[in-house]
Amino acid sequence: MMKIKKIIGVLSYRPRREFQAAKEQPPSTHGYDFHHSRGEFDGLSSPSTEVIIMRNVSIVGIGQTPVNEHWDKSLRELATRAVVGAMKDAGAGPDDVDALYVGNMASGAFTGQEHLGALVADYAGLQGVEAVKVEAACGAGGAAFRQGYLAVAGGMKDVVVVVGVEKMTEKLNGDATSILATAADADYEVDHGLSFVALNALLMRRYMHEYDLTHIDFAPFAINAHRNAVHNENAMFPFEVDESRVKTARMIADPITLLDSSPIADGAAAVVLCSADTARTFTQHPVRVLASSLATDTVAIHNRRDPLFLDGAAKSVAKAYDQAGVGPNDINFFELHDAFSIMAALSLEASGFFDRGQAVREAQNCEISRQGRIPIQTLGGLKARGHPVGATGMYQIVEASMQLRGEAGGAQLPNARLGMTQNIGGSGATVVTHILEAER
Amino acid sequence: MSMDLPRHWRLKQARYRLEGSHCEDCGHTFFPSRLICPECRSENVVAHQFGGRGRVYSYSTVYNPPAGYDEYVPYTVALVQLDEGPLVTAQLTDVDPEDVEIDMPVEMVTRRLRQYGEDGLIVYGYKFRPAWEAA
Ligand SMILES: [Zn+2]
């Protein structure tokens, strides 16, 4: 069945207060319901010039392995377990799947294995299917999900599987540090001895200087993530930490300590995506992808307009809010990319939740906790669930889906209706934002 | 491990002379060099040597280095804001980590960045050391 993208008519921009009404519009006569409009959104009264009809996309199956040091499991086994888990959750068989997207950062360097599209397709029982690896440093998982979304939304594929996988523990720590640094600028950052941690340390030091903060002020990010991870059976560090533990943590790159950092880990997480109009044939609790966007910024921090503001994140969320017709006040929870505490702060500010320089203070006021203004890292985040780099973006999607499906157990938020995920490659160079909605 | 010889050779103008680019159309100077001006997208870009003086924008001391830098630990890295405007990522040298401060004036020197094994390639390039402020 061939689906053709159609361009029709005029739809005016839906301001936020009309969000509910807009999404209650009946499907178009073409059998597709639609939400993605494109044009000049320059005011409430000025209509956009064109609307590209695309299909709505839903997540109908989720799967994940625990995040851990999986000495006994290979990359292909981790990926297979996540894919099979997602397909079983969706009740989808191999013949249902039209394409496979594998998000991964550095399997060649970590394990000596590239060509993951074909490899994972083969081992996951999807022989012959269209399959390709998507790389965007630690943003690979989110970028792969977006490729799956585009394929279904554009009508080229009906059912796709997306898996994020990373196997990091084959290498010793120093080697892993070097491999992670490939997300940065090899010629002008890494050759000067900068690790990925050191680059984030430069941001954190300057942020502390600008906003008159000390290291311990950042403790609420680690404390919140660990507290939430207690309820996540797949988390690597499901235990609480307190301020004294943050104070005494080992220094890695001044001022970043072990407890400001996310751990090296192995893991895989996957979803099954299909067009929203067929979602109910797979599951009774589909999760709608309301918005998907990816934006970029300079790879090297020294080339940024302002190193303390993530322009890439601001662009990425602006597009996502626009597509979904919502704003930060509509988002019930936010799974962000806390590879380091400073990244959590910068992400919250660039995404419109807090003013510049305020994220740490707001975290101290418990505004990122389950009862706060914007709960983050509800199942532990990168910090405590673990950060298998190329898989992380898919863990965010899977965990947000669990919240929206009401399956987050002890971590379940009441009234979780709209969730946002943000997966970052490098120190802000690739930013993938997704807004997901519970379909009831 | 490869020594990346051609890559290090290609970078010699940047590494030894702090050479970036100047846009003849909008007047913007930037480091490192590029073919297209990031400000105005012009291709009318020529080589530009920076003076090598600036101030510390931010700094960190590295204890867990990437492979190949173990023998230098701990070492201090920084974002240096050049007097002409651009930021440069580099190591600081001739200074104790605890004496480094944001806004401290620094100047470029050429030093050893790393060596690839005992008999391998030695890579030289810019680092920055404390400088007296110009009168
Ligand atoms: Zn220019």
The string of pLDDT tens digits covering residues A273-288 is: 999 999 999 999 999 9
- Cα(B26) to centroid(ligand 1), Å: 4
**Residue A357 phi/psi, 5° resolution?**
80, 0
Domain boundary assignment for chain B: 5-130
Q: Which of A130, A148, A156 lies closest to A4, judged by CA?
A: A156
B59, B72, B91 member nearest A205 (Cβ): B59
A193 touches B: beta carbon within 8 Å: yes
Q: Which of A36, A70, A337, A387 is catalytic?
A: A387
Q: Is residue A72 part of a domain?
A: yes
Regarding pTM above 0.80, the answer is: yes
Cβ A352 vs Cβ A327: under 8 Å: yes
Peptide bond into B32 cis (omega under 30): yes
What residues of chain A lie within 8 A of the CB of B90, using their CB? 192
Q: How many CB pairs under 8 A join A and B?
A: 112
Peptide bond into A388 cis (omega under 30): no
pLDDT, tens digit, 9 for 90 and up, residues A95-125: 999 999 999 999 999 999 999 999 999 999 9
For B31, nearest residue in chain A (alpha carbons): A303
pLDDT, tens digit, 9 for 90 and up, residues A26-46: 333 333 333 333 333 333 334
Q: Which of A42, A28, A6, A34 lies closest to A323, judged by CA?
A: A34
CA dihedral A288, A310, B62, A264 (to 10 degrees): 0
Residues with C-beta atoms within 5 A of ion ligand 1: B 23, 25-26, 28, 37, 39-40, 42
Q: What angle do CA A79, A335, A309 make, to 5 degrees?
A: 115
Q: Is residue A360 part of a domain?
A: no
Under the banding of pLDDT at 50, 70 and 90, the label for residue B2 is: low
pLDDT at A20: 37
pLDDT at A51: 52
A210 touches B: beta carbon within 8 Å: no
CA dihedral A338, A342, A343, A345 (to 10 degrees): 90
pLDDT, tens digit, 9 for 90 and up, residues A282-324: 999 999 999 999 999 999 999 999 999 999 999 999 999 999 9
pLDDT at A262: 97
pLDDT, tens digit, 9 for 90 and up, residues A206-226: 999 999 999 999 999 999 999
Domain count, chain A: 1
Cβ A254 vs Cβ B61: under 8 Å: yes
For B9, nearest residue in chain A (alpha carbons): A187
* Residue-number span of the structural domain to which A147 is assigned: 57-171+264-281
CATH number at residue A124: 3.40.47.10
Q: Is residue A181 over pLDDT 60?
A: yes
Inter-chain touch A195–B11, beta carbons under 8 Å: no
Q: Which of A70, A138, A215, A337 is catalytic?
A: A138
For B54-83, what is the mean pLDDT? Answer: 94
Measure the CA–CA gap between A137 and A389, rounded to whole angstroms: 7
A201 touches B: beta carbon within 8 Å: yes
Distance from CA of B17 to the nearest CA of A (A): 14
Q: How many CB atoms lie within 10 A of CB A302?
A: 24
Give the list of residues 6+ apart from residue A182 with CB closer than 8 angstroms, or none: A106, A109, A137, A190
ipTM confidence: 0.97
Measure the CA–CA gap between A230 and A410, rounded to whole angstroms: 8
Q: Residue A96 carries which side chain, given as an amino acid letter?
A: D
Measure the CA–CA gap between B48 and A113, rounded to whole angstroms: 42
The percent of chain B in helix, strand and coil, each rounded to the nearest 5, is 15, 40, 45
Cβ A285 vs Cβ A272: under 8 Å: no
Average pLDDT of chain A is 90
Region of poorest pLDDT, from A3-12, A247-256, B81-90: A3-12
Which 8-state DSSP code applies to residue A334?
Answer: E
Token pair in block for residue A86: 């997602």
Q: How far is CA A72 from the centre of its chain?
A: 27
Respond yes or no: is residue A387 known to be catalytic.
yes
- Cα(B34) to centroid(ligand 1), Å: 11
User: Considering chain B, what percentage of its residues have pLDDT values greater than 90?
Assistant: 82
pLDDT at A27: 37
Q: Is residue A125 part of a domain?
A: yes
Inter-chain touch A253–B64, beta carbons under 8 Å: yes
Inter-chain touch A202–B79, beta carbons under 8 Å: yes
Measure the CA–CA gap between A141 and A149, rounded to whole angstroms: 12
Positive or negative: CA dihedral A342, A348, A350, A355: negative
Measure the CA–CA gap between A399 and B13, rounded to whole angstroms: 48
User: What is the DSSP secondary-structure string of A6-31?
Assistant: EEES------GGGHHHHHTSPPPTTS
User: Considering chain A, what percentage of its residues have pLDDT values greater than 70?
Assistant: 88
- Cα(B40) to centroid(ligand 1), Å: 4
pLDDT, tens digit, 9 for 90 and up, residues A138-159: 999 999 999 999 999 999 999 9
